[in-house]
Structure 1
Amino acid sequence: MPRTDTLLADERLAAAGARLGRGLVKDAVQAVQQRIRSGELAPPDAVDAVLSVLPATASSLRPVLNATGVLVHTNLGRSPLSEVAVEAMVAAAGTTDVELDLLSGRRGPRGAGAIDALLAAVPAAGAAIVVNNCAAALALVATALGQDRELVIARGELVEIGDGFRIPELLAATGARLREVGTTNRVTLEDYRDAVHDETGAVLKVHPSNFVVRGFTRSVPVHELAGALGPDGVPLVADVGSGLLRPHPLLPDEPDLQSTLAAGADLVLASGDKLLGGPQAGLVLGRADLVARLRRHPLYRALRVDKTTLAALEATLRGPLPPVQQMLAADVETLRERARAIVARLGAAGVDASVVDAEARVGGGGAPEHPLPSAAVSLPASFAEPLRQGEPPVVGYLDDGRTLLDLRSLPPSSDEALAAAVLAVAAR
Structure 2
Amino acid sequence: MARAEQVLRLRALPAVDEVLNKSEISQLLKEYPRAEVVGAIRKVLDTARNKILSGDGQDLQLKTIVDDVLQLVNQWKRPNLRPVINATGVVLHTNLGRALLAESACQAVKTISGGYCNLEIDLNTGKRGSRYSAVEELLIKLTGAEAALVVNNNASAVLLALGTLARGKEVIVSRGQLVEIGGSFRIPEVMEQSGCRLVEVGTTNKTYPQDYEKAIGEETALLLNVHTSNYRIVGFTKETRVAELVHLGQQYKLPVMSDLGSGFLVNLASFGLTDEPTVQQTVADGAHVVTFSGDKLLGGPQAGIIVGKKEYIDQMKKNPLTRAVRIDKFTVAALEATLREYLDPEGALQKIPTLRMLTEPVDSLHRRATELAKTIGDGLKDLAQTTFEEGLSQVGGGAMPTAQLPTGLVAVSPRHVSVEQLTERLRSGDPPVIGRVQGDRLLLDVRTLQANDTQPLLQALIEALQPLKGGDKQ
Same fold (TM over 0.5): yes
The answer on whether the counterparts of 2:408 and 2:445 sit within 8 Å (CA) in structure 1 is yes
Local SS of the residue matching 1:412 = coil
* Whole-Å separation in 1 of the counterparts to 2:45 and 2:390: 48
Amino acid at match of 1:282: G
Q: Does 1:105 align with 2:126?
A: yes
Q: Does 1:269 align with 2:299?
A: no
Q: Does 1:418 align with 2:457?
A: yes
**1:346 CA displacement:** 2.3
Amino acid at match of 1:244: F
Which residue does 1:405 correspond to in 2? 444
Local SS of the residue matching 1:163 = helix
* Whole-Å separation in 2 of the counterparts to 1:135 and 1:150: 19
Q: Does 1:160 align with 2:180?
A: yes
* Whole-Å separation in 1 of the counterparts to 2:431 and 2:19: 30
The answer on whether the counterparts of 1:140 and 1:300 sit within 8 Å (CA) in structure 2 is yes
Q: Does 1:239 align with 2:272?
A: no
* Whole-Å separation in 1 of the counterparts to 2:258 and 2:222: 10
* Whole-Å separation in 2 of the counterparts to 1:248 and 1:293: 34
Local SS of the residue matching 2:63 = coil
Amino acid at match of 1:171: M
Cα distance change, pair 79–7 in 1 and its aligned pair in 2 (3 A): same
Which residue does 2:411 correspond to in 1? 378
The C-alpha deviation readout for 1:228-275, integer Å capped at 9, x for no partner, is: 222882111001111211322232121221111111111111010101
Corresponding residue to 1:333 among 358, 363, 374: 363
**1:412 CA displacement:** 2.6
Name the TM-score, length of structure 2 as normaliser.
0.81
**1:207 CA displacement:** 0.9
The C-alpha deviation readout for 1:149-182, integer Å capped at 9, x for no partner, is: 1101011111111222111111012211111111
The answer on whether the counterparts of 1:8 and 1:26 sit within 8 Å (CA) in structure 2 is no
Local SS of the residue matching 1:413 = coil
Local SS of the residue matching 1:353 = strand
Q: Does 1:394 align with 2:433?
A: yes
**1:115 CA displacement:** 2.0
Amino acid at match of 2:220: T
**More displaced, 266-275 or 106-115?**
106-115
Matches within 5 A, 1:18-417: 38-39=60-61, 41=63, 49=71, 52-57=74-79, 60-93=80-113, 94-122=115-143, 124-230=144-250, 233-249=253-269, 250-319=272-341, 321-348=351-378, 349-350=381-382, 351-380=384-413, 381-382=419-420, 383-417=422-456
The answer on whether the counterparts of 2:19 and 2:41 sit within 8 Å (CA) in structure 1 is no
**1:29 CA displacement:** 6.5
Measured on the aligned residues, the alpha-carbon RMSD in Å equals 2.7
The answer on whether the counterparts of 2:40 and 2:69 sit within 8 Å (CA) in structure 1 is no
The answer on whether the counterparts of 1:8 and 1:14 sit within 8 Å (CA) in structure 2 is no
**1:30 CA displacement:** 5.7
Cα distance change, pair 25–317 in 1 and its aligned pair in 2 (3 A): farther
Name the TM-score, length of structure 1 as normaliser.
0.90
Aligned pair count?
420
* Whole-Å separation in 1 of the counterparts to 2:191 and 2:310: 23
**1:110 CA displacement:** 1.2
Cα distance change, pair 309–218 in 1 and its aligned pair in 2 (3 A): same
**1:294 CA displacement:** 0.7
Amino acid at match of 1:211: Y
* Whole-Å separation in 1 of the counterparts to 2:48 and 2:178: 58
Any stretches of 5+ residues in structure 1 without a counterpart? none
**1:28 CA displacement:** 5.2
Local SS of the residue matching 1:408 = helix
Higher Cα Rg, which structure: 2
The answer on whether the counterparts of 1:32 and 1:49 sit within 8 Å (CA) in structure 2 is no
**1:385 CA displacement:** 2.4
**1:420 CA displacement:** 2.2
Local SS of the residue matching 2:431 = coil
Cα distance change, pair 265–107 in 1 and its aligned pair in 2 (3 A): same
* Whole-Å separation in 2 of the counterparts to 1:96 and 1:26: 42
The percentage of aligned residue pairs carrying the same residue is 39
**More displaced, 29-38 or 230-239?**
29-38
Local SS of the residue matching 1:125 = coil
**More displaced, 100-109 or 325-334?**
100-109
**1:90 CA displacement:** 2.5
* Whole-Å separation in 2 of the counterparts to 1:55 and 1:332: 41
